[in-house]
Amino acid sequence: MKYILSVSFLIFSLLVNGQCKGFAKDCKKDLKQSYMPTGQSINKELAAGERYQYITTFYEGQNYRIYGCSDSALGDIQLTIRNTRRQLYYDNSGNGSKTFDFKVGSTQQLIVTLVAPESESNNSEEIKGCVAALVGIKF
């Protein structure tokens, strides 16, 4: 019985993660034609109000676009970009933008943070959905 539960949990975990991978592939079309995905993109399942951040390297002289997208069940996510000293470079709060275009003056690591909005309903059911931050380089 324990073995069956373990296998069932593993399969369920793979299915949930697989759904978010497919979600990120759907978002790539919104990266636009002149940007190519870099492989620095992430996708994650978040509950309402949760946050996810990761650090990635951006290289000198390159033009980048970061595109944040989320499941419609979650609503618009907050996307922030900070340097490793936590100085804010970009925050889409209140402006409705899903993309940030920038050119890097020197090679550096930046912190990309995605925050799912708080749920506005008092429903006891937790709202979850996939989010993605896609990083593209201009070609």
Mind listing the pLDDT tens digit for each residue in 111-124? 999 999 887 766 64
* Alpha-carbon span 48 to 122, nearest angstrom: 12
pTM of the predicted model as reported, rounded to 2 decimal places = 0.79
CA dihedral 106, 42, 135, 60 (to 10 degrees): 10
Q: What residues make up the domain containing 13? A: 2-138
Identify any residues that bridge with 28 across adjacent strands, giving them in sequence order: none
Q: How far apart are CA 52 and CA 41, in angstroms?
A: 13
Number of domains in the chain: 1
- At 130, which CATH number? 2.60.120.380
> Rounded to an integer, what distance in angstroms lies between the CA atom of residue 122 and that of residue 109?
39
Residue of 48, 32, 24 whose CA lies nearest to 131: 24
- Binned average pLDDT, 10 residues per bin, the chain of 139 residues: 44 51 76 84 91 96 93 90 95 87 95 89 74 91
